[in-house]
Amino acid sequence: MIACGAIAREILAIARINNLEHIDLHCLPAIYHSYPQKIAPALKEAIADARSRGFEKIFIGYADCGTGGDIDRICEQEGIERLSGPHCYSFFSGNDAFAAREDDVTSFFLTDFLARQFEAFVVVPLGLDRHPELKEMYFGNYRKIVYLSQEEDPALQEKAKAAAAYLGLDYEYRFTGYGDLARELLAV
């Protein structure tokens, strides 16, 4: 499995809980979450590397993740599959449940990973640490942070609340667990 480093912890937990010892996980840098144009070229390299090491069955641990269909094109060319859905917020929520919600259009989403790494993956890449005046430009159309939690961890909830306060947004907590990610990994 070639996956986003931002979901490595969850993939490993699902594999451990379900004795999925056949999964050999290789992760691309999680920071690509902030630079989706880097995902497809890195996936091509990782797929070529995996094939050169003798892996025949490869699964992509990414949804579309802002690549504009590039991951799907690679999967089609290579004859491999990827996680369903447009992004991790969708598959953690459950793709059908996420698609059914109409009130999330003005929501900024956090997962456990982003709650842990908010400064490194949101504040610094967007330059908010150096130019706090940019918060309004980037987040002015958002109304709330929705924290989609994989683990019920009070410390992470506090971090997510602090992120909402930092951005001046309302806060909503939703425990999702692993959502569709678990179902799809069990099928791999």
Question: What is the DSSP secondary-structure string of 131-185?
Answer: -TTHHHHHHTT--EEEEEESS--HHHHHHHHHHHHHHT-EEEEEE-TTHHHHHHH
Record the tokens describing residue 185, joined without a space.
């990994």
Total Cβ atoms within 10 A of residue 121:
18
What does the pLDDT average to over 26-48?
95
Q: Residue 121's closest CA among 131, 110, 132, 130? A: 110
- Count CB atoms within 10 A of the CB of residue 64: 19
- Write out pLDDT tens, residues 123-149: 999 999 999 999 999 999 999 999 999
Domain ranges of the chain: 2-89+179-187, 94-177
Packing angle, helices 179-187 and 8-17, rounded to 10 = 60
Kindly report, residue by residue over 54-94, the tens digit of the pLDDT. Answer: 999 999 999 999 999 999 999 999 999 999 999 989 999 99
Cα separation, 12 vs 32, in Å, equals: 19
Whether the pTM exceeds 0.85: the reply is yes
